[in-house]
Amino acid sequence: MSASPLYGCIEAGGTKFVLGVARDHETLLRTTRIPTTRPAETLDAALAFFNDASTEFGSFAAIGIASFGPVSLDRNAPDWGHITTTPKPGWSGTDLAGAIGRAFDCPVGFDTDVNAAILAESLWGAARGSDIAVYITVGTGIGGGALIAGCPIHGLRHPEMGHMLPRRHPEDLAFAGICPFHGDCLEGLASGAAIRARWGCSLSELASDHPAHAIIAYYLAQLAVALQALLSPQRIVVGGGVMATPGLIDCVRAEAVRLSGDYFGCRDIATLIVPTGLGDRSGLLGALALAQKALR
Ligand code: ZN
C-alpha cells in the first residue's frame, strides 16, 4: 500500500463538475465529469464517485473544491464553503464543503475555481517562480484569481475581475452588454456569451480580419493593464475557450503594450501575459492544490 496520501479533487463548474482522485499532480488515478443539474442530484453523483474510488484506493486524506462563485471563503463565517447568491437556479446557499467534509470526515480545501487555478499554475504550471500571479479565464463568463506570496486573495469576498468596468471601444458603442448586474462590464462585453450575443457565433468562427477580434482584444487588454496598475504581477496566465481563439493572445499583448504606455516596468509582454501551462486541467489540479493545503 502506498504511503502517500490520497486526495479527492472537485472542479465545480456551472455546467459540469470535474472530479478526480490523485496522490500527486502528475498522476490522476481516476477522473470523471458529471453535469451540473440540481444541487442534491449533482452532489449525490459526486459522493458516489468518491465512495467508489475510496473502496478501490482507500480513504481520503483531504478533498479540495474549486468552485464557481460567488462563494463564502471566510473560515469563521457560518456559511463558509457555501455558494452564496448565484443566478444559477437552486444553487444559492448550497453547502458544498460541508456536504463533502461530512461524507468523508476529512479536511476540505475550498476556494474559487480561478483562485485554485492560479495556485496550481504557480506550483506546477505557467506561474512557477512568481510572487504575484493572476489567472484569467475567458469563456462563457470571465473570471480571475490572484495569488500573493502563495496565498489566494480573498478579502471581503474574493476578486471578481470579470466585472471591472472597461473603457468602450469606439466601434462598439451600440452594444449595451449582457451582464445582468452591470450591463457593459468586461464580462458583459467580452465573454463568450457577449460575443455570441453581438455576432451570433464564437470569436474563432469570425474571419480573422473581422473587427470583433480587435474589439475583444481591446477590452481584455484593459484588464491586463488594470492588473499591472493594481497588483504588479509577474505573470498573468490566460485560459478559457475564448482565449483559445487563434491569434487572440498576441492581439491582447499588443493592445496591453499600447494602452499601458510602456509604464509598468514590463520588459517582455510575452512573458507577462502567458497561456495556461496546465491547459484544461488547471481547475482540477487547483482542487488538488487546495486539498494538499487543507491537509497541511
Ligand atoms: Zn458585471
Are 161 and 194 in a shared domain?
yes
Q: Is residue 198 part of a domain?
A: yes
- Same structural domain, 139 and 187: yes
Looking at the predicted structure, is the pLDDT value of residue 240 above 60? yes
Residue 121 maps to a domain: no
Span 9-33, average pLDDT: 96
pLDDT at 196: 98
Q: If you measure from the C-alpha of residue 140 to the centroid of ligand 1, how many angstroms do you get, rounded to a whole number? A: 13
Distance from residue 61's CA to the centre of ligand 1 (Å): 38
Distance from C-alpha of 106 to C-alpha of 24, rounded to nearest angstrom = 18
- Considering the domain architecture, whether residues 47 and 145 belong to the same structural domain is answered as no
Query: Could you tell me whether strands 27-35 and 7-12 are parallel, antiparallel, or unpaired per DSSP bridges?
Result: unpaired
Owner of C-alpha cell 485560459: 239
Decide which of 296 and 146 is more confident: 146
Q: Looking at the structure, do residues 217 and 243 belong to the same domain, yes or no?
A: yes
Closest residue by Cα to residue 84 from 75, 71, 73, 97: 71
Is the domain of 166 the same as that of 75?
A: no
| Averaged pLDDT for residues 1-12 | 87
How far, in Å, from the CA of 89 to the mean position of ligand 1? 18
Report yes or no on 139 lying in a domain.
yes
Residue 19 shares a structural domain with residue 100 = yes
Distance (Å, rounded) from C-alpha 55 to C-alpha 78?
A: 32
Mean predicted lDDT score pLDDT of the chain: 96
**Percentage of the chain exceeding pLDDT 70:** 99
Can you tell me the mean pLDDT for 132-155?
96
Q: Got the DSSP string for 210-276?
A: SHHHHHHHHHHHHHHHHHHHHH--SEEEEESTGGGSTTHHHHHHHHHHHHHTT-S--S-HHHHEEE-
Model pLDDT, residue 3: 64
Q: How far is the CA of 153 from the centre of ligand 1 (A)?
A: 20
Is 23 within a domain? yes
Per-residue DSSP letter, 169: P
Question: How many whole angstroms separate alpha carbon 296 and alpha carbon 290?
Answer: 10
Distance CA 146, CA 61 (A): 26
In this structure, are 252 and 266 located in the same domain? Answer: yes
Look at residue 120 and tell me if it is in a domain: no
| Ligand 1 midpoint to CA 8 (Å) | 32
114 closest CA partner among 293, 289, 282, 294? 282
**Predicted pLDDT at 38:** 95
Give domain status of residue 2, yes or no: no
**Residue 243 alpha carbon to ligand 1 centre in Å:** 19
Task: Give the residue numbers spanning the domain of 227.
Answer: 126-276
Provide the grid cell at 144. 480571475
Do 150 and 254 lie in a common domain?
Answer: yes
Q: Is residue 148 included in any domain, yes or no?
A: yes
Domain tally for the chain?
Answer: 2
- Check whether residue 110 and residue 130 sit in a common domain: no
Q: Does residue 163 belong to any structural domain of this protein?
A: yes
Q: Mark whether 142 and 253 lie in a shared domain.
A: yes
Q: Are residues 189 and 285 in the same domain?
A: no
Please state, for a pLDDT cut of 90, what percent of the chain lies above it: 96
Centre of ligand 1 from the C-alpha of residue 165, in Å: 8
Q: Are residues 287 and 253 in the same domain?
A: no
CATH code (residue 65): 3.30.420.40
182 CA from centroid of ligand 1 (Å): 4
Instruction: State the distance from the centre of ligand 1 to the C-alpha of 129, rounded, in angstroms.
Output: 32
